[in-house]
Amino acid sequence: MQGAILTSMIIGLLIGSAIGGLILWLLAKNVGKISNASFGNSFLVCLISSAINFAIWYLMGTDAFRMGFAGIFVINLIILSAAYITVGKFIWKCEWMQSVKANIIWIIVYAVFMGYTLSKFS
């Protein structure tokens, strides 16, 4: 059973990273003005950043639920933002501000979506 769950998570991570890589590639080219951004390296940014996020939450375990929805929201946003901006900077070989510009739109959209979703639970 655990093998099926792990396999499903890996497939979801790959599909999500492929879709995210396409969106991030367009943002990196048009908003971040990163000349060497491609689908391949944008896919890697998504894949590595998502894996980092998953690993951190896995290490935190169920103790993270003590923070409540607001705490989970803030911590997740900080982890994702730091991971995407840092990984993007090194994979794209660009300036920090270019990576921030390339990632800021999706971070804001994600924050609004996550805030709306969590508000439905409380």
pLDDT tens, residue by residue, 66-105:
878 788 888 889 999 999 999 999 999 999 999 999 999 9
Structure tokens at 88: 């993007």
Q: Could you list the residue range(s) of the whole structural domain that residue 59 is in?
A: 2-119
25, HSE (Cβ side, Cα atoms, 13 Å): 14
C-alpha–C-alpha distance, residues 17 and 43, integer Å:
6
Burial 35-66 (b: 16+ CB within 10 A, else e): eebeeebbbbbbbbbbebbeebeeeeeeebee
Q: Name the pLDDT band for 122 (thresholds 50, 70, 90).
A: low
Q: Average of pLDDT values for 51-56?
A: 90
Number of domains in the chain: 1
Q: What is the model's pTM?
A: 0.86
Structure tokens at 44: 């890697």
- The CA–CA distances, whole Å, from 104 to 49, 88, 97, 115, 116 equal 15, 12, 10, 16, 18
Q: Average of pLDDT values for 20-46?
A: 94
